Homo-oligomer: A and B are copies of this chain.
Amino acid sequence: MTLAIMMIRQLFDQETSTYTYLIADPAAGAAALIDPVREHVERDLQLVHELDLTLTHVLETHVHADHVTAAGLLRERTGARTHASAAGAPCVDVQLRHGDVVRVGDVAITALATPGHTDDSLSFLVPGAVFTGDALLIRGCGRADFQNGDPGQLHDSITRVLFALPPETVVYPGHDYKGRTSSTIGEEQRWNPRLAGKSRDEFIALMNQLGLPPPRHLAVAVPANRACGTTPVAS
């Protein structure tokens, strides 16, 4: 058995502070994109090309409310298969459940069900790192007040699933709004102000009183993302 050398590249959308990730097995020439953003299809395909890779998989952590996915366009352009939770966008090729493994070349990506931000939220685990979508953010977490979000479920996802990972596991979030790019499970256990030293009930109370305005693009982004972003671009 060979040990695959994994490549990870982090990409950013300044407009919505969204992170996209390229995960690749360079030896096999295979690549996956997690949470690609529609406005960056050309950038991301150019990178895949320049790294001598073929895009074989697109993975969605959840149906996003703040940006439109590039999944559908990438599927049309490359033939990549799109993946999301069974509770997520119905347009995808493969529905993932907790524990399902996606193989990108020899790199194994394990889907972890981490609902609570939305009911379809997945995290993706690779050796040494986890892509947490909007479940666990750096020193924060996703809101839980729309798309069947549930603060108690989010607490369970973070504390029972993600915090069960080794503390040195690198956390790659779906967003950051302060210019931070990664964290670790151990750091978030110790320093995440929404979780450290707080009970489940305190977390729920805190989340229920955030009083955030609705996401700017909710009404457009959610239906577009349920169609894998292949709807016409709204002006």
Q: Which residues of A are at the interface with B, using a C-beta cutoff of 8 A?
A: 9-14, 17, 20, 40, 43, 47, 50-51, 178-182, 187, 190-191
B51 A181 Cβ-Cβ under 8 A: no
Could you say which of A47, A179, A181 has the most chain B C-beta atoms within 10 Å of its C-beta? Answer: A179
B43 A178 Cβ-Cβ under 8 A: yes
Main secondary structure of the interface of A (DSSP, over half): mixed
B11 A180 Cβ-Cβ under 8 A: yes
The docked-state distance in angstroms from the alpha carbon of A182 to that of B187 is: 23
B14 A180 Cβ-Cβ under 8 A: no
A182 B9 Cβ-Cβ under 8 A: yes
The docked-state distance in angstroms from the alpha carbon of A181 to that of B20 is: 11
Instruction: List residues of chain B with CB within 8 A of the CB of A182.
Output: 9-10
Instruction: List residues of chain B with CB within 8 A of the CB of A14.
Output: 14, 17, 179
Q: Determine how many copies of this chain the complex contains.
A: 2
B51 A187 Cβ-Cβ under 8 A: yes
B43 A181 Cβ-Cβ under 8 A: no
B43 A9 Cβ-Cβ under 8 A: no
B179 A40 Cβ-Cβ under 8 A: yes
A12 B9 Cβ-Cβ under 8 A: no
Q: Give, as a whole number of angstroms, the nearest-CB distance from A16 to chain B.
A: 11
Instruction: List residues of chain B with CB within 8 A of the CB of A187.
Output: 50-51
The docked-state distance in angstroms from the alpha carbon of A9 to that of B51 is: 23
Q: Give, as a whole number of angstroms, the nearest-CB distance from A175 to chain B.
A: 12
Q: Give, as a whole number of angstroms, the nearest-CB distance from A66 to chain B.
A: 15
Q: Give, as a whole number of angstroms, the nearest-CB distance from A100 to chain B.
A: 28
The docked-state distance in angstroms from the alpha carbon of A43 to that of B14 is: 19
Instruction: List residues of chain B with CB within 8 A of the CB of A43.
Output: 178-180
Q: Give, as a whole number of angstroms, the nearest-CB distance from A214 to chain B.
A: 23
Q: Which listed residue, B9, B47, B179, touches A11 by the CB 8 Å rule?
A: B179
- Extra inter-chain contacts (7) besides given A10-B182, A14-B14, A43-B180, CB under 8 Å: A12-B181, A14-B179, A47-B180, A50-B187, A50-B191, A51-B187, A181-B181
